Amino acid sequence: MPAGTLPWIVGLVHLLANVVSVLAFVGGRRSDRPRRYAARSAIAAVAVIVTIVVGYLSAMSRAFSDVAGVDPSRKAAALAQGISEAMNLAACGAAMFLLPLAATVYLLVAPPRPPSA
């Protein structure tokens, strides 16, 4: 996989998970059974967590493998750059996790709407 592809894949998965979460939230608010929609939002939250872990581990692996081929005087800077990218990926993923989490919690504790006549 090319070097710049992973952040785009992780970002796309996070975007899709947030779209699914918003759609589940809207559907759950209109439904008389919001818990069914909470499960969809929870699956989106799990997808975000999985991509955070996979993205972080892949970025850290790339950071350490990139250090192997660098001039010894620049190893610390290259390692710091790689770790910084991995931490930024994890921090953005954690921020993207908040929307599916909030939607899931709300739909789990929301009282069901009475069925419309």
Give tens-digit pLDDT for 96-117.
Answer: 899 999 999 998 997 777 777 6
pLDDT (0 to 100) of residue 6? 75
Domain boundaries, the chain: 5-109
Residue 30 is given by DSSP the state H
pLDDT (0 to 100) of residue 1? 60
Residue 85 near residue 59 (C-beta atoms within 8 A) = yes
Q: What is the CA radius of gyration of the chain?
A: 19
Residues of the chain with pLDDT under 50: none
pLDDT (0 to 100) of residue 22? 92
pLDDT (0 to 100) of residue 117? 62
Helix (H) or strand (E) holding 29: helix 5-30
Burial (0-12, 13-18, 19+ Cβ within 10 Å), 110: middle
pLDDT (0 to 100) of residue 11? 83
